[in-house]
Amino acid sequence: MLGKLSLDAFMHDSLIIVFANVIMIGTGLAIAAAITYYGKWGYLYREWLTTVDHKKIGIMYIIFALIFLLRAFIDAAMVRAQQAAIGAGAEEGYLHASHFAELFTGHGTMMIFFMAMPFLIGLMNIAIPTQIGARDVSFPFLNSLSFWLTAAAGALVMVSLLVGQFSTAGWTGYPPYSALPYSPSAGVDYWIWALQISGISTTLTGVNFLVTILKKRAPGMTLMRMPMFVWTALCTNILMVLSFPALTVVLALLALDRSFGFHFFTGDMGGDQMMYINMFWIWGHPEVYILVLPAFGVFSEITATYCNKRLFGYTSMVWATMAIAFLSFTVWVHHFFTMGQDSTRNAAFGIATMIIAIPTGVKIYDWMWTMFRGRIEFKLPMLWLLGFLITFTMGGMSGVLLAIPGADFKMHNSLFLVAHFHNVLVPGTMFGLLAGFYYWFPKSFGFTLNEKWGRHSFWGWLIGFYVAFVPLYMLGIMGMPRRMVTYDNPSWGIWLIIAAIGALIVAYGIFAMFMQIYVSVRDREQNRDVTGDPWGGRTLEWSTSSPPPEYNFAIIPTVTDRDPFLDMKIRGTAYARPEKYEDIHMPNSTPDGVIIAGFAFIFGFGFVWSIWWLAALAALGIIATVIVRGCRDDHGFHIPAEEVKRIEDARYDQLKASGVFERIKHIKDFGDDRTGVPVDKMSNANL
């Protein structure tokens, strides 16, 4: 009746795992007790669990991502500690080989699927509807469902720590390692169904935001007037829609192999293991740019804002973004140059890999020329940008080296490769996400983040990155393979000890980030944003209050420039009030997303442990919930014009008291009002 599930699944021979389970369960119980003590279950249900408001969903995505950032970093730190311990003289370290394999598999899986992806989708939820002048996304319920499916997938990963174990086959899950004869435990099945549910969620998100950007832009916002973050999000969502179905199919085929004895990826009965690798990387390399492109959009927004200039080369930036999106589907073979292709095929994909560096270089030069002769304000996001430019360029150059098939034969599966992709994704994704987190935080919560602790976090991340990963380049050149639980080459030890010290420095950066949040919440009244525009912004989200009202815009704005809010400041219409307000239609909250996601979790758990009756009941539950929702008339609700007027009048009075109207009077051109220097006193070159 319980399939493969038995009491043995709850037994763990590692005290580390037992301790982790105690912490996880204890934390969950403490949070539940606190909610009960303060009587917040009703508030939590009404305002968060059932919400379809894109702003709240974005906040939940980012909270979810920060939780998995902690979990994934702990896994990585344990890997570094194991290898450093051997370098310091311990013969076997402190981890069993299977636990070590779980750690590096979990780290890669969680950082990509459950940290980076939710973080960037959270930023898209917070910024995009308000940047394009919309009141919500095109499909609010689908947005809620997407988040809760992601949460269900994350829950499967967390449950694997308590019941059974996680995969030991690496985050890519290559056969034959992931085949049933070589991974008979439930770990690979947890991996399959966590990624399957998460991947479906991401595909739905891609469809939702693609339609939102194409169909819900404010009047006058043509494609070439969209903010660069919206452009990068548009290309990112196209990549999501086109690439994630490949992952969904390949995981379904692997599940059939493991659960029902099929032979898609086995070494006999007509199976083809290389088919898995091709299908995985047809998703996998576009995924790299799904992670990087939104960060590029963040850097474009903050460069223009904090340099007090229009973004240099806007048109070239747009074309470079589209070129990267297109070329990302032409380079997947460089992930397996060593796996049997002929030299002509390898050369073709090597050249394509080098070509994709060209539009990326265009973006770097555009950011640099935007900074040139600008009135730069070195706020925290600008530090993240500068750290990114130097570090990402170094990672890109190592990537061009690996694009040479002959060099890749030497470096493949070594720590040089590990250093390279961290050298691209840490600055190219993490730095951009943290810059966007600081930049849009006041828009979500109504107060700014603490600058001092933010700078501590930046230097921890930047210095820690170099100390942790430059040694891995050296070790790769010295011939050290990745994923080694033990080794007997004494010359590697010192480099691995240095890398572990780098991980400790990064740990300080993460600690400082959470301290930044704590101190900011504690001092929120001192850092309150009463204008909605703390940075002197140029795009439409800064024309709303912080945080925006449920409806975002009382009157949908008309756009006449690609820096629409700054254009309104120049023309004196930034805070103009209409003659009258109208009722505003909004979607109703619904628990259906939570219910479907709950059934999806049960379905995945049933498949993991071959509890077929449980999986079948969960599938019926999903279908029944969808049918009931489809048969239910849900016309939303209206916010009365009188209520809208009351909210907008209160905001106008607050703006007047803050002096914002006087502060923007001097703006005559596409400069900015943060320094208080009249635009006509500045040289045209600085504009």
**pLDDT per residue as tens digits for the range 373-393:** 888 999 999 999 999 999 999
Q: How far apart are CA 529 and CA 563, in angstroms?
A: 21
Q: Assign 678 a pLDDT band (cuts: 50, 70, 90).
A: very low
**Residue entry with tokens 């080098």:** 354
**Residue 654, C-beta contacts closer than 8 angstroms, at least 6 positions apart:** 530
Which of helix, strand or coil describes residue 136? Answer: coil
- Other CB atoms within 10 A of residue 1 CB: 6
List the one residue out of 264, 274, 399, 237 whose CA is nearest residue 331: 399
Taking residue 630's Cβ as centre, other Cβ atoms within 10 Å add up to: 7
Q: How much is the average pLDDT of 258-277?
A: 91
Structure tokens at 625: 């919930």
| Per-residue pLDDT tens digits for 53-109 | 999 999 999 999 999 999 999 999 999 999 999 988 887 889 999 999 999 999 999
| Residue 147 CB coordination number (10 Å) | 27
For 107-168, the DSSP string reads HHHIIIIIIIHHHHHHHHHHHHHHHTT-SS-S-HHHHHHHHHHHHHHHHHHHHHHHSS----
Measure the CA dihedral 107/109/115/119, to 10°. Answer: 150
* Region for 261 from its dihedrals, namely left if φ exceeds 0, alpha if ψ lies in -120 to 50, beta otherwise: left
Q: What is the pLDDT of residues 518-567, one digit of tens each?
A: 999 999 999 999 999 999 999 999 999 999 999 999 999 999 999 999 99
Extract the tokens encoding 3.
């399939």
- Rounded to whole angstroms, the Cα distance separating 673 from 681 reads 13
What is residue 634's predicted lDDT score, i.e. its pLDDT?
Answer: 86
pTM (2 d.p.): 0.95
**What is the distance between the alpha carbons of residues 535 and 305, in angstroms, rounded to a whole number?**
7
pLDDT number for residue 682: 33
Residue 249: exposure state from Cβ atoms within 10 A (0-12, 13-18, ≥19): middle
Nearest to 277 by CA among 265, 259, 293, 260: 265
| Helix and strand totals (H; E) in the chain | 23, 2
pLDDT, the chain, mean:
93
* Distance between CA atoms of residues 396 and 402, nearest Å: 10
Per-residue pLDDT, 465: 97
Q: How confident is the model at residue 685 (pLDDT cuts 50, 70, 90)?
A: very low
- Are 364 and 389 a contacting pair, CB within 8 Å? yes
Could you give the CA distance from residue 584 to residue 550 in angstroms, rounded to a whole number?
Answer: 10
Among left, alpha and beta (phi > 0; psi -120 to 50; other), residue 461 is alpha
User: In 3D, which of 501, 483, 503, 496 has the Cα closest to residue 426?
Assistant: 503
